[in-house]
Amino acid sequence: MDLVPFVGEPLALDLVNTRPWSASGRTDLLAADGGLTHWLALERGRLPDLALAGIGATGTDDLAPVLAVRSHVASAIAHVMDGQPVPAADIDGLNAAMRAAPVVRRLDWTDPPRLVSERTAEPMVQLAGFFAEDAAALLAGADARLIRKCEAEDCVMLFVGSNARRRWCSAARCGNRVRVSRYYQRSKTS
């Protein structure tokens, strides 16, 4: 399986999905050299105008706020999927990330005037706060009960299964592999 980030789900799930399986086990696509920058480029249209210009090829230490949010989101989602209460530590972690980068609103007197929302903090803390807010909205919303894990045996990707018939993270990514494997097994036995 290639290690191209799986995107297009709610941002919180896309963040959790940055830890796919590879031949050597779980791979962290964000911690890889330039991984965060690459993933942010794929998600750019879905991100607010954060101070992303300040986020370049960062070291793993710089990623700590984002990785912490990803860990809390992954744990919270796993508990929701299992029908268990979300641990207080995960709720506290997401709330702390949002508090660390509060949203401030200001009037932008341009033509036309508009009310602008901005986060205040270092760029990586802003990003973590944004991801925590997106995760909180997902977990508190109706889609939380629709989160599923891909049914492909070697896939750990999560998706919102708003269509009851959807079984794979992507028909092109896992669906085709599963169908080809089934075809191969049928042709081998006949």
Q: What is the pLDDT of residues 44-99, one digit of tens each?
A: 888 876 646 566 544 556 899 999 999 999 999 999 999 999 999 999 999 999 99
pLDDT digits (tens, 9 = 90+) for 116-130: 888 888 889 999 999
CATH architecture of the domain with range 11-145: Orthogonal Bundle (1.10)
Verify cis geometry, omega within 30 degrees of 0, for the bond prior to 112. yes
Flag the least confident range among 18-27, 91-100, 106-115: 18-27
- Closest-CA residue to 72 (of 43, 47, 101, 92): 92
CA distances from 125 to 62, 76, 78, 143, 152 (A): 9, 20, 24, 26, 34
Residues 140-156 as b/e (b if ≥16 CB within 10 A, e otherwise) read: eeebbeebeebebeebb
Flag the least confident range among 2-11, 48-57, 64-73, 153-162: 48-57
Domain boundaries, the chain: 11-145
**How many CB atoms lie under 10 A from the CB of residue 52?**
16
d(CA 109, CA 122): 25
18-32, 68-82, 144-158, range with greatest mean pLDDT = 68-82
